[in-house]
C-alpha cells in the first residue's frame, strides 16, 4: 500500500533504497552526485566520498527518534522529516494507492466509459501527487538536515531548500549548498564561460591538446584560457606555463615521498581541490607531460593500455614524451599505479623508444634474455647506420645536381638520426636518453626513420629520377591550350620532388615509372601532331611575312614623301618587327620523331608553346594594306592633278609611262628609295 501511495517522481526517479545519480553545476563545472531515499540509515552512506561522487543526499522517509548518524564528509547531507505525520498525508497515500490499483483494472478495457474513467483517475492521481509533494515539502522543511560537520542547517535554510513541490529542485539547491561549502573557490575560473563544462568535454579537450584524430581545436579555444591550459592571446594552442593547478601539484608532491599512489594524487585534485574526476585525470597527465620537474607514472601492467597508433605499449613507465601517445582512458593508470619524480631507466623502461629503431625488438621482449634482445638491437642499429651513410651520400648528390638543397629539412632529419645512432657503442641507456633529448615523442623518431628509409630507397634510382625530371622540365606545355596535359606534367614533377619521394605516402618507383610512360605516350602524340602542323604552315607564313615586310618598307617610303599629306600606319612597322621568322624548316617529319628520351625535336627544337603568330601577322598585314591603299589613293589624286596642271612637263611623260606599266595599287612591289625620290621630284 505504501509503495503504491507514493508520487511518481519517487517511484520513477528516486526509487527507495537505490542511489540515483544527479548533476549539479558549480563555478562552471558539472559535478556528479547521488540521492538515496531510504526508510532507515545505513552507516556506509556516511563514509567519505570518492570516485565520481561529489555530494550525497540521503532522504530518510520516517523519523527514528533522536538518531544522529556518523557522517564522515562535509559534502554529505542527511534529511529527516518532521516528527509528526499529518492525517491528510495518510489519507492522500491511501487514496493514491487505491487509484493505482483501480487503474490496473481499467488498463486494457475498451469503450467510452473506460476512457472516461481512466481520464478521471489520471487527473485525480496528478492532483493527489501534488498534494503529497506539498506535504513532503512541509515535512522536510520542519525536519532536521545534518551535514558532515554534524551541524544542523537552521530552519530558515531548510524551508528555502525544500520550497515547492519538485524534488529535483530541492536536490539542486541542497547540492549547490554542499558544493558551495566544500569548494568556495577553485583554481580554475569557468564561471564566465557561456556554458558549464561537463565531464564529456574533457576527453574532447584531451584529443585537442594532443592532436589526436577527431580532436576539435575549438574545445581548447573554448575552455583552455579558463583552465589555464592556453592563453587568451592564443586560445587554440596548448600552453600551461601559468597553470595554478600545476603549482598546487608541485607543492603537494613536495610533501610526498619520491613516488606516491596515483589514486592519492587524483583524490587530492578531485576531492580536496574540487576538480571533477575527468578534469583531475587530465591535469595529472598534463603535469607529467610538461615535465617540470620530470615526472613518471609507473603502471602495474602495460596490457590493455590504448595507444594512438594501435601498437602495444611496451613499457610500464610513462614519461613526459609518452603521454601524448595514450588515448583517453580514465581507467588508466589502473589500481596500484604510482606517480612521482622520474627515476633512472631500466631495460624495460627503454623499450617503447628503442623499438622505433628496432621494430623486431618487440618480438624479443617476452621470454627472451636481455643479452639476446640487445644483440637484435645492435644488429638493427648497424643497418640503420649504413642507411644513414647512404642518405648522406644522396644528399651530396642532390646538392651537386641542383646547386642548392632542395629539401633543407632532410639535412636536419639526418642530423637528428646521426646524434641518436652515434650513441650505439655507449649502450642502450645512452641511446634511449639521446632519443628523449632529441625527439618530443617516439613517434617523431619513427617519422625520421621512415624518411631515411625512403631516402635510401630513392638513392638506388636517383640518376633515373634526374632524367625523368629533366624530361618533364624540358617538355614545356602551355597551360591555357592543353590544361589536362599540363596538370599531369605538374603532378608528375611534384611527385618527383625530394619532399614527395621521401614522404611516407609518396608514390613508389614502379608506379611513377608506369605513370610517366603513359604521360610520354600522350605527350608524344600531341607533340608530333604539333610539329607536323607547324612545319606545314611555316612556308606560307614566311611568304606572308616577307610580303608584309616589303609592304611596310613601301609604306615607310611613301610616308616620307613630303607632298603626301599625313602619314598612315604609324607604328605598324614596330609591331611587324616583333613578329619573328619562326623556327627553321625541319628535315624530320613528325611521324619520325622518337620521343622516349627527348621531349623536343633535336633538329628544330620547337616545344608545344612554339606557335606561328598567324593571327597577329594577318592583322598587321591587313592594316598595312589599308594604310598603303590610303597612300596610293592620295598619290593617285596628286598625280592626276599634276597631269592636268602640267601637261607639257618633260618628266611627266616618264611618270605616265611608269604608271602605264605598273598598277599603282601594287606600287609596293617596285617602291624603293629611287622611286620615292622620283615621285618627290615630280610632285615638288
pLDDT in tens, 407-427: 667 888 999 999 999 998 888
Band of pLDDT at residue 110, cut at 50, 70 and 90: low
Phi (first) and psi of residue 39, to 5 degrees: -80, -25
The Cα–Cα gap between 118 and 112 comes to 10
Question: Closest by alpha carbon to 81, among 125, 133, 130, 116?
Answer: 133
- In the chain, DSSP finds a helix count (H) and a strand count (E) of 23, 9
| Burial classification of residue 443, based on how many CB atoms lie within 10 Å of its CB (0-12 exposed, 13-18 middle, 19 or more buried) | middle
3-state secondary structure of 35: strand
Confidence at residue 368, expressed as pLDDT on a 0 to 100 scale: 61
pLDDT on residue 219: 93
CA–CA separation, 291 and 319 (whole Å): 8
Sheet with 76-80, edge to edge strand ranges: 19-26, 29-38, 56-60, 76-80, 144-147
- The β-bridge relationship of strands 56-60 and 295-298 is unpaired
> Which is higher by pLDDT, 539 or 663?
539
Measure the CA–CA gap between 197 and 29, rounded to whole angstroms. 5
- Residue 45 pLDDT greater than 70, yes or no: yes
Higher-confidence residue of 237 and 117: namely 237
CB 414 within 8 A of CB 464: no
| Number of residues that make up the chain | 684
Mean pLDDT of the chain: 86
User: Is 662's pLDDT higher than 60?
Assistant: no
Q: How far apart are CA 386 and CA 417, in angstroms?
A: 12
Backbone φ, ψ for residue 69 (5° rounding): -65, 155
Contact indicator for 337, 262 with CB cutoff of 8 Å? yes
Predicted confidence (pLDDT) at residue 1 exceeds the cutoff of 60: no
For the sheet with 317-318, list strands across it: 259-261, 338-341, 295-298, 317-318
* Measured distance CA(667)–CA(564) in Å, rounded: 15
Question: Which of 360-369, 486-495, 604-613 shows the lowest mean pLDDT across its residues?
Answer: 360-369
The proportion of the chain whose per-residue pLDDT surpasses 90, expressed as a percent, equals: 44
- Bridging pattern class, strands 144-147 and 76-80: antiparallel
- Contacts of residue 21, defined as CB under 8 A and 6 or more positions apart, other chains included, come to 32, 33, 34
List the beta bridge partners of residue 338.
Answer: 261, 298
Rounded average pLDDT over 607-616: 91
The 3-state DSSP class for residue 18 equals: coil
What secondary structure letter does DSSP report for 590? Answer: G
Lowest mean pLDDT among 1-15, 252-266, 480-494: 1-15
Q: Please write the tens of the pLDDT for every residue from 369-407.
A: 778 888 888 899 999 999 999 888 887 777 776 665 556
Cell numbers given for 230? 592556453
Q: Count of alpha carbons within 13 Å of 657, Cβ hemisphere only?
A: 5
Give me 326's grid cell.
595514450
pLDDT score of 589: 86
- Considering only residues 120 and 374, tell me which one the structure prediction assigns the higher pLDDT: 374
- Grid cell 614502379 is found at 510
Instruction: Pick 187 or 648 by higher pLDDT.
Output: 187
pLDDT at 161: 93
Residue 390: per-residue pLDDT: 86
Contact 438, 322 (CB under 8 A): no
Q: Around 109, how many Cα atoms within 13 Å sit in the side-chain half-sphere? A: 15
Question: What's the gap between Cα 295 and its chain centre?
Answer: 30
Gap between the Cα atoms of 252 and 250, Å rounded: 5
Reply yes or no on whether the pLDDT at 185 is more than 90. Answer: yes
| pLDDT attached to residue 125 | 73
- Write out 223-269 in H/E/C secondary structure: HHHHHCCCCCCCCCCCCCCCCHHHHHHHHHHHCCCCEEEHHHHHHHH
Whether the bond into 12 is cis, omega within 30 of 0: no
Report the pLDDT averaged over residues 465-477. Answer: 88
Task: Specify whether the CB–CB gap between 530 and 608 falls below 8 A.
Answer: yes
> Where is mean pLDDT largest: 240-254, 498-512, 565-579?
240-254
The predicted structure's pLDDT at residue 295:
94
Query: What are the φ/ψ torsions at residue 25 (nearest 5 degrees)?
Result: -85, 135
Provide the 8-state DSSP code for 317: E
Q: pLDDT: is 511 or 354 the higher one?
A: 354
How far apart (Å, rounded) are the C-alpha atoms in residues 628 and 556? 10
**Average pLDDT rounded to a whole number, residues 174-191:** 92
Which H or E run contains 340? strand 338-341
Lowest mean pLDDT among 73-87, 198-212, 252-266, 314-328: 73-87
Q: Integer distance in angstroms from the first to the last C-alpha of the chain?
A: 139
Question: What's the pLDDT band for 150 if we cut at 50, 70, 90?
Answer: low
In this structure, the strands spanning 338-341 and 259-261 are antiparallel
Task: Give percent above pLDDT 70 in the chain.
Answer: 88
CB atoms within 10 A of CB 118: 15
Q: With H, G, I as helix, E, B as strand and everything else as coil, classify residue 515.
A: helix
User: Which whole number is the average pLDDT over 251-275?
Assistant: 94
Q: Mean of the pLDDT values across residues 356-363?
A: 84
Residue 661's pLDDT is 44
Contact 180, 77 (CB under 8 A): no
Locate 629 and state its grid cell.
Answer: 591603299
CA dist 254 and 499 (Å) reads: 48
Q: In the chain, what are the helix, strand and coil shares in percent, each to the nearest 5? A: 55, 5, 35
CA distances to 78, 105, 395, 683 from 143, rounded to whole Å, are 11, 38, 85, 134
123 vs 607: CA distance, rounded Å: 92
Binning pLDDT at 50, 70 and 90, where does residue 105 land? low
* Alpha helices (runs of H) in 163-200, residue ranges in sequence order: 167-182
Name the pLDDT band for 145 (thresholds 50, 70, 90).
confident
Residue written as cell 593508470?
333
Q: Which of 396, 404, 511 is nearest to 455 (CA)?
A: 396
Work out the number of other CB atoms within 10 angstroms of the CB of residue 268: 19
Q: What angle do CA 278, 279, 281 make, to 5 degrees?
A: 65
Amino acid at each position: 500500500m505504501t509503495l503504491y501511495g507514493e508520487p511518481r517522481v519517487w517511484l520513477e526517479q528516486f526509487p527507495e533504497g537505490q542511489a540515483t545519480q544527479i548533476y549539479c553545476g558549480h563555478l562552471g563545472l558539472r559535478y556528479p552526485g547521488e540521492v538515496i531515499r531510504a526508510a532507515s540509515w545505513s552507516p556506509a552512506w556516511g563514509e567519505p566520498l570518492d570516485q565520481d561522487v561529489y555530494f550525497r543526499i540521503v532522504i530518510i522517509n520516517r523519523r527514528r527518534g533522536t538518531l544522529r548518524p556518523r557522517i564522515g564528509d562535509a559534502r554529505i547531507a542527511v534529511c529527516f522529516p518532521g516528527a509528526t505525520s499529518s492525517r491528510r498525508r495518510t489519507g492522500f497515500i491511501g487514496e493514491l494507492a487505491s487509484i493505482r490499483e483501480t487503474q490496473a483494472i481499467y488498463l486494457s478495457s475498451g469503450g467510452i466509459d473506460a476512457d472516461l474513467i481512466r481520464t478521471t483517475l489520471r487527473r485525480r492521481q496528478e492532483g493527489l501527487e501534488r498534494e503529497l509533494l506539498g506535504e513532503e515539502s512541509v515535512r522536510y522543511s520542519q525536519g532536521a538536515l545534518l551535514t558532515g560537520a554534524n551541524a544542523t542547517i537552521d530552519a530558515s535554510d531548510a524551508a528555502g531548500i525544500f520550497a515547492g513541490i519538485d524534488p529535483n529542485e530541492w536536490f539542486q539547491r541542497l547540492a549547490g549548498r554542499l558544493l558551495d561549502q566544500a569548494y568556495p573557490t577553485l583554481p580554475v575560473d569557468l564561471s564566465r564561460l557561456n556554458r558549464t563544462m561537463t565531464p564529456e568535454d574533457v576527453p574532447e579537450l584531451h584529443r585537442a591538446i594532443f592532436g589526436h584524430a577527431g580532436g576539435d581545436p575549438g574545445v581548447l579555444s573554448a575552455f583552455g584560457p579558463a583552465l589555464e591550459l592556453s592563453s587568451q592571446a592564443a586560445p587554440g594552442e596548448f600552453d600551461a606555463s601559468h597553470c595554478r593547478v600545476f603549482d598546487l601539484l608541485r607543492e603537494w608532491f613536495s610533501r610526498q615521498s619520491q613516488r606516491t599512489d596515483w589514486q592519492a594524487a587524483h583524490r587530492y585534485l578531485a576531492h580536496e581541490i574540487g576538480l571533477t574526476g575527468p578534469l583531475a585525470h587530465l591535469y595529472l597527465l598534463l603535469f607529467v607531460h610538461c615535465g617540470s620537474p620530470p615526472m613518471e607514472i609507473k603502471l602495474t601492467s602495460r596490457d590493455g593500455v590504448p595507444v594512438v597508433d594501435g601498437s602495444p605499449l611496451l613499457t610500464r613507465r610513462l614519461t613526459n614524451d609518452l603521454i601524448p601517445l595514450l588515448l583517453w582512458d580514465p581507467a588508466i593508470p589502473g589500481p596500484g599505479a604510482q606517480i612521482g619524480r622520474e627515476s633512472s631507466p631500466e631495460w624495460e623502461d627503454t623499450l617503447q623508444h628503442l623499438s622505433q629503431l628496432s621494430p623486431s625488438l618487440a618480438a624479443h621482449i617476452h621470454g627472451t634474455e636481455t643479452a639476446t634482445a640487445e644483440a637484435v638491437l645492435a644488429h638493427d642499429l648497424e643497418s640503420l647506420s649504413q642507411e644513414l651513410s647512404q642518405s648522406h651520400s644522396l644528399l651530396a648528390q642532390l646538392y651537386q645536381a641542383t646547386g642548392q638543397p632542395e629539401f633543407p629539412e632532410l639535412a636536419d632529419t639526418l642530423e637528428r638520426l646521426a646524434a641518436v645512432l652515434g650513441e650505439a657503442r655507449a649502450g642502450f641507456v645512452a641511446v634511449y636518453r639521446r632519443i628523449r633529448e632529441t625527439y618530443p615523442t617516439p613517434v617523431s623518431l619513427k617519422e625520421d626513420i621512415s624518411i631515411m628509409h625512403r631516402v635510401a630507397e630513392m638513392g638506388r634510382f636517383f640518376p633515373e629520377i634526374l632524367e625523368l625530371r629533366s624530361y618533364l622540365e624540358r617538355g614545356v606545355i602551355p597551360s591555357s591550350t592543353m590544361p589536362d596535359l599540363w596538370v599531369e606534367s605538374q603532378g608528375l614533377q611534384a611527385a618527383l620532388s625530394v619532399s614527395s619521394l621521401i614522404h611516407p605516402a609518396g608514390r613508389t618507383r614502379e608506379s611513377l615509372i608506369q605513370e610517366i610512360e603513359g604521360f610520354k605516350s600522350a605527350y608524344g602524340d600531341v607533340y608530333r601532331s604539333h610539329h607536323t602542323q607547324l612545319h606545314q604552315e611555316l612556308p606560307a607564313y614566311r611568304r606572308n611575312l616577307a610580303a608584309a615586310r616589303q609592304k611596310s618598307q613601301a609604306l615607310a617610303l611613301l610616308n616620307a614623301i613630303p607632298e603626301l599629306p599625313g602619314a598612315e600606319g604609324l607604328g605598324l612597322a614596330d609591331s611587324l618587327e616583333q613578329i619573328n621568322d619562326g623556327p627553321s624548316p625541319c628535315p624530320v617529319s613528325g611521324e619520325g620523331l622518337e620521343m622516349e628520351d627527348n621531349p623536343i625535336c633535336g633538329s628544330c627544337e620547337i616545344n608545344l608553346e612554339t606557335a606561328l603568330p598567324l593571327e597577329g601577322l594577318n592583322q598587321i598585314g591587313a592594316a598595312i594594306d589599308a594604310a598603303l591603299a590610303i597612300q596610293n589613293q592620295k598619290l593617285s589624286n596628286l598625280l592626276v592633278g599634276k597631269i592636268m596642271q602640267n601637261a607639257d612637263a618633260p618628266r611627266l611623260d616618264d611618270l605616265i609611262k611608269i604608271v602605264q606599266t605598273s598598277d599603282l595599287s601594287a606600287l609596293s612591289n617596285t617602291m624603293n628609295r629611287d622611286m620615292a625620290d622620283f615621285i618627290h621630284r615630280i610632285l615638288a
